[in-house]
């Protein structure tokens, strides 16, 4: 078993709301510098910078999970994680087929940049990545699970873009792996006010970083697993056979 520090919700400069400093190489370099063993690249409805992060991470010993922050038809966000870039590419095709088709307004929403593993500019994504897909939440989760991925209800404690707030409760048979608490709502880990509405889901805490300071200072998870795979993450959430998942960990007060 290995005990590792992980952050499964990080945006690159492909997300229009992310800062230009959030390049794949910079993210994995800082992860290595601060002892974050695993990260997930989760841009809004997009995945074009995931491969660059996976490649760049080879030089730093950091595990990168290819992922995405999906906005479902209910206008709520769901973080999805996969083991391989091939799985993510297949998922991207489904997302592409269910996007709005609108063009991005870079001046209003922000530019959407694609870069390589050395952070060299490749292209600017012209489609508007922000906004809901045509797929409802239940279908997003079902499809992701069928492809071998995992789905996490993002920032359930927030009043906007929260699946819990949109639906009022999360059915226990929905197929979600966990519920994410936002950086601003860490007190919920102790208060447990939302627990009854979450269908028995365990909490995770990620930075949801759109800038480097948020990544460094945002909450993370201390996980004990045999290996860094989606299957092992699910077992850690279930505390199976010595595996574990501790949310609410910060670099500034680390004692691990």
* Six-digit token string for 152: 């996490």
Look at residue 149 in the predicted model and tell me its pLDDT: 98
Specify the number of domains making up the chain: 1
Average confidence (pLDDT) over 225-243: 98
pLDDT digits (tens, 9 = 90+) for 122-175: 999 999 999 999 999 999 999 999 999 999 999 999 999 999 999 999 999 999
pLDDT digits (tens, 9 = 90+) for 51-92: 999 999 999 999 999 999 999 999 999 999 999 999 999 999
Q: What is the CATH number of the domain that holds 160?
A: 3.20.20.140
Domain span holding position 141: 2-253
Look at residue 28 in the predicted model and tell me its pLDDT: 98
pLDDT digits (tens, 9 = 90+) for 237-247: 999 999 999 99
Please give the mean pLDDT across all residues of the chain: 97
């Amino acid at each position: 078993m290995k005990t590792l520090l992980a952050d499964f919700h990080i945006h690159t400069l492909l997300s229009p709301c992310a800062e230009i400093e959030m390049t794949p190489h910079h993210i994995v370099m800082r992860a290595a510098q601060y002892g974050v063993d695993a990260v997930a690249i989760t841009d809004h409805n997009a995945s074009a910078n995931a491969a660059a992060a996976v490649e760049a991470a080879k030089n730093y010993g950091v595990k990168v999970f290819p992922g995405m922050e999906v906005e479902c038809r209910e206008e709520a966000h769901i973080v999805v994680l996969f083991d391989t870039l091939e799985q993510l590419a297949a998922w991207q095709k489904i997302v592409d087929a269910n996007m709005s088709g609108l063009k991005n307004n870079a001046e209003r929403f922000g530019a959407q940049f694609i870069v390589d593993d050395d952070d060299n500019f490749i292209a600017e994504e012209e489609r508007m990545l922000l906004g809901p897909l045509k797929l409802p939440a239940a279908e997003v989760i079902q499809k992701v699970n069928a492809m071998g991925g995992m789905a996490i209800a993002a920032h359930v404690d927030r009043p906007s873009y929260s699946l819990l707030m949109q639906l009022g409760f999360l059915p226990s048979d929905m197929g979600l792996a966990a519920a994410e608490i936002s950086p601003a709502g860490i007190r919920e880990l102790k208060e447990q006010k939302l627990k009854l509405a979450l269908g028995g889901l365990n909490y995770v805490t990620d930075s949801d970083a759109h800038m480097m300071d948020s990544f460094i200072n945002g909450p993370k998870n201390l996980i004990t697993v045999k290996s860094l795979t989606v299957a092992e993450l699910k077992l850690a959430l279930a505390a199976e056979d010595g595996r574990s998942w501790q949310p609410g960990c910060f670099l500034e007060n680390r004692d691990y």
